[in-house]
Structure 1
């Protein structure tokens, strides 16, 4: 048996299924949301305000979901609830025509669905005996899930070239329903004995206090804030920029899949990159790729260059987002791992995009709805993340994977 096959042994098939379907929801909706809102007659400044307001929900909800998953409710049931409510939110969103209704319905969807991007990591770690070795292969199926609805949307738009993007919400609702049901297939994890509530509460707050005393963790949160703020421009403003550069909207989904396919190719070898380069170098590489991605969009409108730059976006996901999640799992005590992962969402997908989308709205309003200054701002944010990683490079380099199934952390 090969080492790769040995690493996957014992991982429940249902975990791969949940990972695939969870990302299928995002692949169906998020890449097309800006263009769908444009169809409703909104300008980029109005669209940016919707994204900014939605991001404010991450100041409360993700932390709440993570704490509940750590202390009260099995994380599998949390996923069932969040996906169910995300589906209800999209059902409500599809009937909205006024600006207020569009904003409120998207805010509801965002607050329920987006935290699952990080909570899925905490869920996966609980079923993996060797997270540093196994997580890359499991997460690759999330990238497969992201691709699948893009192919469905591509086929629909190819044969219905003048069709509304309303179709993507229907695909998203079906994906939410399938994801919620798939979580019921996960093996039940049985605790040897029920924990003492008072002792568990004390241990939780002690572990959280210890986590916040780690400078490396705080710097990683700040870098995640900057990278997520910058990457939100890739997700929300990349697709409409492709369309204004002359690319038919039917091809936008497949073009974004270029980066996702690279993710799938890189994930199985993630443990090798971490052993060879270490966490610090890998994180820094992710930041540099993000800077380069925005540079391409800032200086060019060539369709081929814009399309191929999605390879850089795929590298950002693997080398920064996923590696940061693995590193946080190493830094945090087992009592607060779901909370520590959720804090990445609070500072990353919450505060970061909240501020960056607000600034994007101001820039587009001042420059006649042009998106090029937005990508310039993305470059600056990515550069700031590079400086943060460099400032703690030696300390972060002490975290490394030694041999298969083993990892070390500073003591």
Structure 2
């Protein structure tokens, strides 16, 4: 009873709402924004350029804003600023369908929106204090809303048109920006300075971890880029493909809801190693399997390869980064993994898909995950 009251009355509720809104917006943006551009008659090259601009901002600007926030100890003001300005910039999409203008809007939107998630992770770690294993129970609201909005907006697009995504994203971002004002101010007057704190990231154990994490997300390039195509070539229909993605998301949600129990019993290092080894098995299964039952079973492994791995990564960075550089630390983690790792993964898979096909790409993904797991084992020793 006390725990329920604590959730309703504490900053955890605000953080849960922020994740809920952030990933709800992402559930519209990721699946449907490129589709919107396609319906504006943009060429494949133009859509690719816009995607590349978004990727570059995802890698670079969380680091810039994270450094500014930690150096001047202004995390909350920067977070609010980025939310409101990115919201205003997005509104400009309502007034133009010109490629060059939309490219500029994408650039400036990315500059201000890309750091939001790493700031949110840093706020959450501070609020949880010595109960950081509960992170998944807050983060899970993002995963739930992501699924809801992917399905809801997809249905609304079928009933109306893809044009609805611009006002829907604006509405979600506006609510998130307003609620950002209520986010807990966890800034402290730190005794240490930002520079020495940030240099902790150059320690061998963290460099090894970041390299391994980069490899883990690189190994996901085939899955996120070509899994649906892989299944279609095996003869499966859209309904089955949708079920496989949904099953993976459910597995991820269950893991996040149970994360406090998992991390009370098992160390972060062991969870990370297990996630890498599970990724090797998962990619090998997708390399060789054509059975519906086996493919569905392999999707349950998403609980470890994404759910448990993501939580352990956030906790691991938080454990070793001093308080005066925590925002920057989470920004580096996101930039190296979901920014650089995913980008390189998509690029390599795109280059070799026509030559070797998705099955061999999944085999290569297993090898990459194995190398990452080997690095984690070395670090653990």
TM-score range, shorter chain: 0.7 to 0.9
Partner residue in 2 for 1:324: 313
Would the aligned equivalents of 1:144 and 1:264 in 2 still touch at CA under 8 Å? yes
2:313 is equivalent to residue 313 of structure 1: no
Question: Aligned partners of 1:243, 1:258: CA distance in 2, in Å?
Answer: 17
Q: Counterpart in 1 of 2:118?
A: 118
Matches within 5 A, 1:347-386: 347-363=336-352, 366=354, 373=357, 376-377=360-361, 379-381=363-365, 383-386=367-370
| Count of aligned residue pairs for this structure pair | 379
2-structure distance, mates of 1:44, 1:307: 32
Paired with 1:93 and 1:9, the residues of 2 have a C-alpha distance of: 36
Question: Residues 299 and 222 (structure 1 numbering): CA distance in 2 closer, same or farther, change over 3 Å?
Answer: same
Partner of 2:215: 226
**Following TM superposition, by how much is the alpha carbon of 1:288 offset from its aligned partner in structure 2, in angstroms?**
3.9
Query: Contact conserved, 1:80 with 1:180, CA < 8 A, in 2?
Result: yes
- Contact kept, 8 Å, 2:82 with 2:112, in 1: the verdict is yes
Residue 406 of structure 1 corresponds to none
Question: 2:220·2:345 contact (CA, 8 Å) conserved in 1?
Answer: no
Quick check: 1:209 aligned with 2:199? yes
Aligned counterpart, 1:185: 182
Distance 1:69 1:190, change over 3 A: closer
Q: Per the alignment, do residues 135 and 61 of structure 1 end up closer, same or farther by CA in structure 2, a change over 3 Å counting?
A: same
1:314 Cα deviation after fit: 4.5
CA contact (8 A) 2:61 2:111 kept: yes
Tell me, yes or no, if the aligned pair for 2:254 and 2:303 is still in contact at 8 Å.
no
Shift of 1:63: 0.7
Deviates more, 1:116-125 or 1:325-334: 116-125
1:401 equivalent in structure 2: none
User: What is the Cα deviation at residue 332 of structure 1?
Assistant: 0.9
After TM superposition, list the pairs within 5 Å mapping 1:159-174 onto structure 2: 160=159, 163-174=160-171
Residue number in structure 2 paired with 1:271: 260
The answer as to whether partners of 1:288 and 1:383 remain within 8 angstroms in 2 is no
Greater shift after overlay, 180-189 or 235-244? Answer: 235-244
**Structure 1 runs not aligned, ≥5 long:** 398-411
Flag the 1:225–1:147 CA change in 2: closer, same or farther, 3 A.
same
- Higher helix fraction: Structure 1 or Structure 2? 2
Give 1:167 deviation, angstroms. Answer: 2.7
Which residue number corresponds to residue 286 of structure 1?
275
Corresponding position of 2:251: 262
Counterpart CA distance in 1 for 2:292 and 2:43 is 23
Kindly provide the CA deviation profile for residues 97-122 of structure 1, in whole angstroms up to 9, marking residues without a partner as x: 56655555444444433433332210
Mapped partners of 1:304, 1:38: distance in 2:
35
Structure 1 distance, partners of 2:231, 2:309, is 24
Equivalent pair of 2:277/2:373 in contact (CA under 8 Å): no
Q: Is the 8 A contact 1:228 1:353 kept in 2?
A: yes
Distance 1:58 1:307 in 2: 32
Residue 341 of structure 1 and its aligned partner are, at CA, apart by 0.8
Tell me how large the CA RMSD over aligned residues is: 3.8
The Cα offsets for residues 344-372 of structure 1, whole Å up to 9 and x where unpaired, read as 122223322333333344335x55xxxx8
For the 8 Å contact 1:70–1:339, the answer to whether it is kept is: yes
Deviation at 1:88, TM superposition (A): 4.1
Unpaired runs of at least 5, structure 2 = none
